[in-house]
């Protein structure tokens, strides 16, 4: 929990510094949760944050697999349905790696497309 919270706090600082406007943090629904919902200019951005202290199981962003993307997509669609107008949207991933206690933050813009199958 501590690692995840710390990663999200660093991600929010990074995003704000880079001009994002934070709309929601830890947006929860019965379908799941999105770590951060923000505006990047006119684009509504759904952001998943992954933090790691070790690369034993790969880079943090690699944990955003198909199942996780599908869940994020469903939550994002439920959020969009509440809006009066649908703005341009995208999915970003924030990767936070604490290398020897020092955070390395990476933003992967447009990290994946909506994961839905018809």
Range of the domain at 62: 2-112
Q: Rounding to the nearest 10 degrees, give the CA dihedral for residues 57, 60, 62, 64.
A: 120
Q: Rounding to the nearest 10 degrees, give the CA dihedral for residues 50, 53, 58, 62.
A: 0
Check which CATH number belongs to the domain holding 11 and give it: 3.40.1350.10
Q: Is residue 118 domain-resident? A: no
- pLDDT tens for residues 34-87? 999 999 999 999 999 998 877 777 777 778 888 899 999 999 999 999 998 989
Q: Is residue 35 domain-resident? A: yes
The residue among 103 and 24 whose pLDDT is bigger is 24
The number of folded domains in the chain is 1
Note the pTM of the prediction, 2 decimals: 0.90
Q: Is residue 38 domain-resident? A: yes
């Amino acid at each position: 929990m501590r690692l995840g919270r710390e990663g999200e706090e660093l991600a929010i600082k990074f995003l704000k510094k880079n001009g994002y406007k934070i709309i929601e943090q830890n947006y929860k629904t019965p379908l799941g949760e999105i770590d951060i919902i923000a505006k990047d200019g006119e684009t509504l951005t759904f952001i998943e944050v992954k933090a790691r202290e070790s690369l034993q199981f790969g880079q943090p962003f690699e944990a955003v697999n198909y199942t996780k993307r599908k869940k994020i997509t469903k939550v994002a669609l439920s959020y969009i349905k509440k809006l009066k107008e649908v703005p341009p949207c995208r999915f970003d991933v924030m990767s936070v790696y604490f290398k020897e206690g020092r955070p390395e933050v990476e933003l992967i813009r447009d990290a994946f497309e909506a994961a839905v199958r018809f």
